[in-house]
Structure 1
Amino acid sequence: MSHGVKKRKLDKNAQESLYFDSYSDVTIHEEMIADRVRTSTYRAAILRNAEAIRGRVVLDVGAGTGVLSVFCAQAGAGRVYAVEACSIAEQAVKIVKQNQMEDRIEVIRGTVETIDLPESVDVIVSEWMGYALLHESMLGSVLFARDKWLKPGGLILPCRAELYVAPVSDPVVEERLNFWCTVRDQYGVDMSCMSDFAKRCILSGDIAVTPVTVEDVLSHPARIAELDLRSVTAEQLRSVRGEFACECFGSSAVNALCVWFTVTFPCEDNKTLVLSTSPFKPETHWKQAVLYLDEPTDVMQDTKVAGEIHMYPSEDSARHICIHVDYTIGEHKKHSKTFSIPDGYSEAQQ
């Protein structure tokens, strides 16, 4: 990235247009539906709440292809309002018709902030989560819908979200950093001067969205935040903070922190259903958010990795998340680093 050119901040309408346009292509919907952990957990949660849904009015916020709306109709919902802002709503209409549910599911093109419903709702369902939980998430829209449309005591699926962190050792990064020192032996050209440039690029402030293997996680996770969707406010989402303290399993080198989330669904049998994006669980399309530190630090059994994480919206786009970390490893001095997901990441994945 050139430091001599200042990026132009897009106005809110342009930001929203870019966000919704990214959901107009089939690829992202294919990725989400094909994520069996995501889709099967939502289906199970909806069907296990059939008693609360049967004959009731449901609002699906950010309905996409309408698959969650169909699940709700299959669970016996009397009426489902499937609200979707982007052009994929046209395909949702076709899917609803193909499943012969147009008498119970109404697809509404627009955002929940701008549309009007003829009645209050008993249930809100939404798959609103983004990378690192809050990047490009629709949680703000869910909270708006909750405050405007949900009846007192109504059901929200999911109802709670939690964020976790753990130190990790990424051997691939170490191999990439060492690569330029190996070129001379392979090709007879000394390119070791590239090492500093590679380090600036690889260990930048970008949040890497990538799967982390269990073997690379160096401690038990620490929970850094919990959001109760029945009470959290939009203002509270502007600053999500949490402290963490982890003790390492054994000798290794910490070169990153790994952040992931879970969401919890209440169920009628007084049990809960959890959708987890943990590296200890089957992989989802959210993978994990990896924050690469400026320098690897050697650790031993029980070395403490501790600090505070602060998540907040980017100044350039309210939907983009920044993560600031203050941390210490063992007896080393405190370090600080701020991370964000690079522009164009979502488009690059499609």
Structure 2
Amino acid sequence: MWKQIDGYSLEKWKDIKLHEWILQDQIRNTAFKAALEEVVQNSDVVLDLGFGLGYLSSLALESGASRVYGIEYHQNIIEEAKRRVTNAKVRFLLGKSTELSTNSLEPVDVIVSETLGFMGVGENIVKYVADARKKWLKDYGKIIPAEIELYLSPVFVPKSSSASQVMCEIKPEYLVGEPQMLAKFDLYSDDEVLIDKDLTFRLRGAKINGFAGWFKAKLSENVTLDTSPFKPQTCWHQMLYPIGNMQEESVKTNVASYEKNGLILLRVTPDSLK
């Protein structure tokens, strides 16, 4: 699967088929189910941030939540969710969470959000969770996911792309250097994604035509969702940042985040291309 990210925006999530596609990912589903079962206590009030079709809200109720507030930005998606999730304990709120007032809902015990996106932070989860945390999370409340780590590795892939970034499957044998952690975000304290970091990789085989990226999300104390090439593939796959063919013994690259169409994207620039 090769999916170009250039021109992508959050408006893509108006497509119900896209929501149904991610619901087929059993690794994703199992991980969030286990995390909710671990975190949610009987009578907890839960906020599902980026409600979608309501799958996580249903899991929260199964885990003992007394009420779930689901915030969803797209009208057609929330209408479809209402047809699928009919439990009166679920209360729907239409709009962007950042535009809702503090008194739009009561304080909550748990915030859960699967707005992970590309590289774990692509859909601006850090910003949206930070806003919700400040407005609605009780003292000592819980957040799912708690942490997100981003990783990068040089690769040589048989098939490359002229796009600046592509979502695709990266096989372990494509890696030509040791992966390094690019960034780590704590959703209990961080407010936004700001990355501007230099990484230096020693190469195996000296040929490189891109960088691959992926993420690990610590959903709860005992549940981690790992999208690395060494794990079974998920709906997120990995990200490829093509750079053209190069032959080097080592490569230094700058990685910088930027926002476009409401998304957080990465610009990967080796020193030789500056």
Superposition TM-score, scaled by structure 1 size: 0.70
Match of 1:313 in 2: 259
1:335 aligns with 2:266: no
Give the equivalent residue in structure 1 for 2:18: 28
Among candidates 55, 78, 85, match of residue 66 of structure 2: 78
SS of residue paired to 2:268: strand
Letter in 1 for 2:214: W
Residue ranges of structure 2 left out of the alignment (5+ in a row): 1-7
Offset of residue 145 of structure 1: 0.6
Which structure has the higher relative contact order (CA within 8 Å, separation 6+)?
A: 2
1:103-152 deviations in whole A, cap 9, x for unaligned?
A: x2112222212334341111100001111333333432221111111112
Q: Which residue of 1 aligns with 2:234?
A: 284
Corresponding residue to 2:167 among 209, 225, 249: 209
Query: Does the 8 A contact of 1:60 with 1:82 survive in 2?
Result: yes
Whole-angstrom distance in 2 between the partners of 1:118 and 1:132: 30
Match of 2:42 among 51, 54, 71: 54
TM (norm. structure 2) is 0.88
Moved over 4 A (4+): none
Q: Secondary structure at the match of 2:118?
A: coil
Matching residue of 2:55: 67
User: Residues 192-247 of structure 1, C-alpha deviation per residue, up to 9 Å, x if partnerless?
Assistant: xxxxxxxxxx445x20111111111112210010000011013xx2x223332333
Residues 325, 336 of structure 1: 8 Å contact kept: no
> What corresponds to 2:219 in structure 1?
265
Greater fraction strand? 2
Contact kept? 2:53, 2:78, Cα under 8 Å = yes
Aligned equivalents of 2:78, 2:184: Cα separation in 1: 32
**Contact 2:156–2:208 (8 Å) recurs in 1:** yes
Paired residue total: 264
**How far, CA to CA, are the matches of 2:265 and 2:234 in structure 1?**
22
Residue number in structure 2 paired with 1:167 = 154
- Which amino acid in structure 2 is aligned with residue 167 of structure 1? P
Q: Write the letter of the residue equivalent to 2:170.
A: V
Aligned with 1:280: secondary structure?
coil
Distance in structure 2 (CA, Å) of the matches to 1:263 and 1:127: 10
Distance 2:265 2:107 in 1: 35
For structure 1, the residue ranges without an aligned partner over 5 or more in a row are: 1-14, 174-201, 328-333, 338-350
Shift of 1:322: 4.1
- Determine helix, strand or coil for the equivalent of 2:104: coil
Matches of residues 168-187 of structure 1 in structure 2 within 5 Å? 168-173=155-160
Q: Which amino acid aligns with 1:37?
A: I
Bigger radius of gyration = 1
Partner of 1:7: none
Q: Give the Cα–Cα distance (whole angstroms) in 1 for the partners of residues 269 and 115 of structure 2.
A: 28
CA shift, 1:39, in A, is: 1.4
1:249-284 CA distance string (max 9 Å, x none): x325111111111110223xxxx3111111111111
1:19 corresponding residue in structure 2: 10
